[in-house]
Structure 1
Amino acid sequence: MKTEKFSFTGHAGDELAARLDLPAGPQLATALFAHCFTCSKDTIAARRIAARLAGLGIAVLRFDFTGLGQSEGSFETTHFSSNVEDILLAAQALDDRGMSPGLLIGHSLGGAAILKAASTLPDTKAVVTINAPADPAHVIGAFREDLPRIRSEGSAQVCLGGRPFTVSKDFIEDLRGIDLPGVLKDLKPALLVLHAPRDEVVSIDNASRIFLAAKHPKSFVTLDDANHLISRSDDAEYVAEVIAAWVGRYVELTPPAPPPGAPEGIVRATEADPDGFLQDIQSGPNHHMFADEPLAYGGTNKGMSPYGFLAAGLAACTSMTIRMYARRKEWPLDDVRVDVSHDKVHAQDAETGARDKIDRFQREIHLTGDLDGDQRARLLEIADRCPVHRTLEATSQIETKLAG
């Protein structure tokens, strides 16, 4: 993933700071991400979602609202409607670059703002909310005890998330004037509602109200024990995975033609955790996996090891090759299972004459069906014609036997 610094002019003429996360390969679509109330574009959730979507071929713009993060301006002068304006201006900045966003994602109050903005962005095909309130005025509960002072003085400093912010009377009045259910009734893009049942900031009933108010197509996915900020990396990864799996139904992600000599396209590994070994493996727009190392080798064991993928390729190709042959011969093969293990052995043990260690794949084939001895023997021979087998045997030893 490549990340560019990006800036645009916000609703009050201030320069707003953003990051544009770009796919390493072809860009297939564009997304716009709005962060949670008083947060920034660099939260764990924002960064992980952007990285995962970039791996899918979707560019993601995440920005700091006016007066927050690295953006200029004063938070005191902002309100919900100004956040919506900032979102629209971010979308316009992308459009000016020829990258009109087809996917909008909003976290917490940013989710409510995204819903409001979506109604005026005609190119939007899909909208995602994460722990969003059904009524933007819900955020007032975070500083309810300060309301009398805000009303009498016009503004007051409150503590939000352990940090001081100045909240104005205009901010509160604006929140109370937003009719989000009315917006949802007319929402045309597909909607995905993600919400944590144990969210202590925005309760789960908000997700129900958003979901019920919207028309189909709409989807709801629970975030189990995630917190409101999606601050754990595992939860952020899950959110990213769900969005990546869902969005392809509504946003066109057709890749360009593969390069000559690579009919299946490019398989790309992108580092997902710079402190460990976790890798995002993307094969075209539709297939995503994780590669990792076991805990004993410093990994997090969230995916197969590289050798695990190699063994999986041999096992799958062997099974497919046997099935194709049996189908053509119309033999009574009911089921195929191929077990593959990998290790390294001394070359002299493999009778190659070399001194170094080589790779050895042990393959055990299980065939079920009313097959006679000759048919089973022939299918064992056919296993050695598997294309992956032929590729590997140029430098590796592959031992094969029938089970049972």
Structure 2
Amino acid sequence: MMATEKNTKVEFDGALGERLAAALSWPNGKTRGFAIFAHCFSCSKDFVASRRIANALTDHGFAVLRFDFTGLGRSGGDFSDTNFSTNTQDLIAAANWLSENYDAPSLLVGHSLGGAAVLAAAPEIPSLKAVATIAAPADAEHILNQFTCSVDDIEANGEGQVDLGGRPFTIKKQFLDDVRAFDLPAQIAKFRGALLVLHSPVDNSVGIENAERIFKAAKHPKSFISLDDADHLLTKLEHASYAAEVISAWADRYIPAQAQKTQTEGNVVAAESGEGKYHLHVDASGHQLTIDEPLSAGGTDRGPTPYDLLAAALGGCTTLTLRMYADRKKWSVTHIQTRVEHAKHHADDCAVCGEGHEGRIDVFTRHITIEGDLDTEQRRRMLEIADKCPVHKTLEKSSAIVTSLVE
């Protein structure tokens, strides 16, 4: 997918039904994959570290969704009604929104308690290939150590006001109950993708021992990077930039550029691979194919010929058209197969070519096998439907081919 603008403001429904404010940052070229960034709870999607990391990821080909959790930043809702579980569900809602509107995310990045949230959400998002955390606590209950008021007072009064990063927040007792019950190490152990843990040894808010606990709970592949003298919020630009570049370079290994995918059907690129005289690499709307010529023609025979692919398109379209029709009619069809033969005949010798053809002509012969409980009339109708296959119609009609030379 080619980006039409660098940043797009979007909204989606969070775990509690509130509208969450988000920004979708696009790369300059083709999108290799989608990532989600979860900010620390005393920050927002527009915090300097959030923007810096998103920009670095877009430089590496990722489209990055940053959003404000329920009740934070520009998102709707009351933070006092949230807890660690709802924040985790907000992340899953973000992943679902990406899947429905663009493509499923392959990378999650989380900062501070946002890092704990991505660790908790990761096993619930099947598309993920990699997760990176920055200064993340090893358990959700760690946030209770940051409260400026007494936890006992919150339990006694049902709620209390706390200071997080210089900002006041109202915390209810249900928040305490939720973080105490949440088993984050168990969630970490469930994730089967790659994990990168970034942490500063001088972090005074979330100690370096948390990185060790996360690392031990995780399965391989896993990596650790020290952020040296960085503070918890990465307030210095050079620290945020370093973390961003490390994450981006690390992600390249697990989500390589050649895995990039486009959403647009009908975009095909065929390029010489350098692996043989006629061997080509093909990107067909994000799907990787190979084209080659047989050994007798000077090729390496490691892929179908262009005419083989043309025949495959006809056979595939025929089979799919018949399946769609049978399903719509609710007919008992258990299996459909189309075998296509391609040959060139002289028009004068071609019994099925009809009038108006001269010289040699391409003839595609289809042999269709339909298994199922169909009567004679149903089989006759299926044969008629085969001729309504879109590729069949394209091959029978004239097509316009417009060619330009790219400078």
Question: Fold match, TM over 0.5?
Answer: yes
Q: How many residues align?
A: 264
Aligned to 1:2: 6
Partner of 2:219: 215
Could you list the per-position Cα deviations for residues 63-119 of structure 1 after superposition, in whole angstroms to 9, with x for gaps in the alignment? 000000000000000000000010000000000113210000111111111011001
| Number of the residue aligned with 1:120 | 124
Of 225, 235, 239, which residue of structure 2 is paired with 1:235?
Answer: 239
Which residue of 2 is the match for residue 341 of structure 1? none
Q: Which residue does 1:188 correspond to in 2?
A: 192
Structure-2 separation of matches of 1:164 and 1:19: 25
Q: Counterparts of 1:124-273 in structure 2 under 5 Å?
A: 124-143=128-147, 145-254=149-258
Identity of aligned residues (%): 51
2:94 to 72, 90, 114: 90
CA contact (8 A) 1:44 1:232 kept: no
1:258 CA drift (Å):
12
Q: Is the 8 A contact 2:149 2:162 kept in 1?
A: no
Question: Are the equivalent residues in 2 in contact too, given 1:194–1:207 (CA < 8 A)?
Answer: yes
Separation (CA, whole Å) in 1 of partners of 2:268 and 2:46: 34
Distance (Å, rounded) in 1 between the aligned partners of 2:137 and 2:221: 20
Q: Are residues 1:79 and 2:119 paired?
A: no
Q: Deviations over 1:110-137 (max 9, x none)?
A: 1111011001111000000100000110
The C-alpha deviation readout for 1:276-330, integer Å capped at 9, x for no partner, is xxxxxxxxxxxxxxxxxxxxxxxxxxxxxxxxxxxxxxxxxxxxxxxxxxxxxxx
1:47 aligns with 2:51: yes
Greater shift in the superposed pair: 196-205 or 176-185: 176-185
Report the AA paired with residue 178 of structure 1.
F
The answer to whether structure 1 residue 11 and structure 2 residue 22 are counterparts is no
Q: Which runs of 5+ in 2 are unaligned?
A: 262-266, 274-407
**Runs of 4+ in structure 1 displaced over 3 angstroms?**
255-261
Following the alignment from structure 1 to structure 2, what is the Cα–Cα distance between the partners of residues 119 and 90? 15
* One-letter amino acid matched to 1:62: R
Distance in 2 of aligned mates of 1:84 and 1:39:
16
Deviation at 1:252, TM superposition (A): 3.2
- Give the SS at the match of 2:124: coil
The answer on whether the counterparts of 2:11 and 2:22 sit within 8 Å (CA) in structure 1 is yes
Is the Cα–Cα contact under 8 Å of residues 29 and 252 in structure 1 kept in the other structure? no
Residue 62 (1) aligns with residue 66 (2): yes
Secondary structure at 2:25 match in 1: strand
Counterpart secondary structure, 2:36: strand
Contact 2:15 2:89 in 1 (8 A): yes
2:108 maps to which of 91, 104, 107: 104
Aligned-pair RMSD on alpha carbons? Answer: 2.2
- The letter of the residue matching 1:164 is P
Normalising by structure 1, what TM-score?
0.63
Paired position in structure 2 for 1:31: 35
Unaligned runs of 5+ in 1: 264-404
8 A Cα contact 2:149 2:160, kept in partner: no
Q: Aligned equivalents of 1:236 and 1:113: distance in 2? A: 20
Q: 1:259: how far off?
A: 9.2
1:376-387 alignment runs, 5 A limit: none
Structure 1 residue 204, shift from structure 2 partner: 0.2
CA distance in 2, matches of 1:74, 1:247: 34
